[in-house]
């Protein structure tokens, strides 16, 4: 495809989305904190549009100690109750308490000798799955890999990690590359 025929994925409309699409979405990450943050933020998005969470992301980072699992795991109920009054966050009790629960689950995994990054990347064989979708209609909402990740995360004590959330997480963190083949970010065009 010539450069003139390439264009960003259709969902990447507006400056915030386009920057996220071009600079983050689908870029493989093996960073423990980034992976934990994104897993939690994908859970915050449940039932909402991603742009809502994207625009609140910096405030989440401030309120949740940069998503340091060690710090988040020790947040008190009183602190989380205070955060429920913060308009800069999605004020859903289960979702906000879920971030702490996920931090505790991550630390419990690591206490068993499990590397969190390896744990997540195992579902794609430790290598990005590059798909060749031509339209958004071709992109699934979940896959067998996402279902397996969801099941394992739930078993480990994580919350807000259903298969659709897991697949969105896999796409965003580069475990899966679902940029359309007409997108300049798809590997076939680089």
Give the residue from 12, 19, 22, 32 showing the smallest Cα distance to 107: 32
State the catalytic residue, choosing from 17, 25, 37, 50: 50
* Residue 2: predicted pLDDT: 60
Q: Does residue 121 carry a pLDDT above 60?
A: yes
Q: Specify whether 11 is catalytic.
A: no
Beta bridge partner(s), residue 76 = none
When the pLDDT of each residue in the chain is averaged and rounded to a whole number, the result is 96
* Residue 190: predicted pLDDT: 85
Q: Where exactly are the structural domains of the chain?
A: 14-189
Q: What is the pLDDT of residues 65-112, one digit of tens each?
A: 999 999 999 999 999 999 999 999 999 999 999 999 999 999 999 999
State the catalytic residue, choosing from 11, 20, 24, 110: 20
Give percent of the chain with pLDDT exceeding 70.
Answer: 98
Q: Is 90 exposed, middle or buried (0-12, 13-18, 19+ CB in 10 A)?
A: buried
State the catalytic residue, choosing from 37, 42, 121, 167: 42
Local structure of 5: helix, strand or coil: helix
* Residue 5: predicted pLDDT: 85
Q: What is the pLDDT of residues 145-183, one digit of tens each?
A: 999 999 999 999 999 999 999 999 999 999 999 999 999
Do 55 and 87 contact (CB within 8 A), yes or no?
no
Spatial distance between the Cα atoms of 178 and 168, rounded to a whole number of angstroms? 10
Local structure of 143: helix, strand or coil: coil
Residues 32-43 as b/e (b if ≥16 CB within 10 A, e otherwise) read beebbbbbbbbb
Architecture of domain 14-189: Orthogonal Bundle (1.10)
């Amino acid at each position: 495809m010539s450069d003139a025929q390439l264009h960003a994925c259709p969902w990447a409309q507006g400056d915030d989305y386009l920057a996220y699409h071009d600079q983050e979405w689908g870029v493989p990450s093996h960073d423990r904190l980034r992976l934990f943050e994104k897993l939690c933020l994908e859970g915050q998005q449940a039932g909402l549009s991603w742009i809502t969470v994207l625009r609140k992301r910096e405030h989440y980072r401030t309120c949740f100690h940069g998503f340091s699992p060690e710090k988040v795991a020790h947040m008190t109920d009183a602190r989380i109750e205070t955060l429920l009054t913060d308009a800069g966050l999605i004020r859903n009790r289960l979702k906000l308490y879920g971030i702490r629960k996920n931090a505790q689950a991550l630390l419990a995994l690591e206490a068993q000798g499990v590397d969190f990054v390896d744990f997540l990347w195992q579902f794609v064989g430790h290598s990005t799955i590059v798909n060749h979708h031509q339209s958004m209609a071709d992109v699934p909402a979940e896959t067998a890999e996402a279902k397996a990740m969801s099941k394992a995360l739930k078993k480990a004590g994580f919350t807000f990690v259903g298969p659709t959330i897991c697949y969105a997480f896999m796409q965003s963190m580069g475990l899966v590359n679902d940029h359309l083949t007409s997108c300049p970010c798809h590997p076939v065009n680089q």
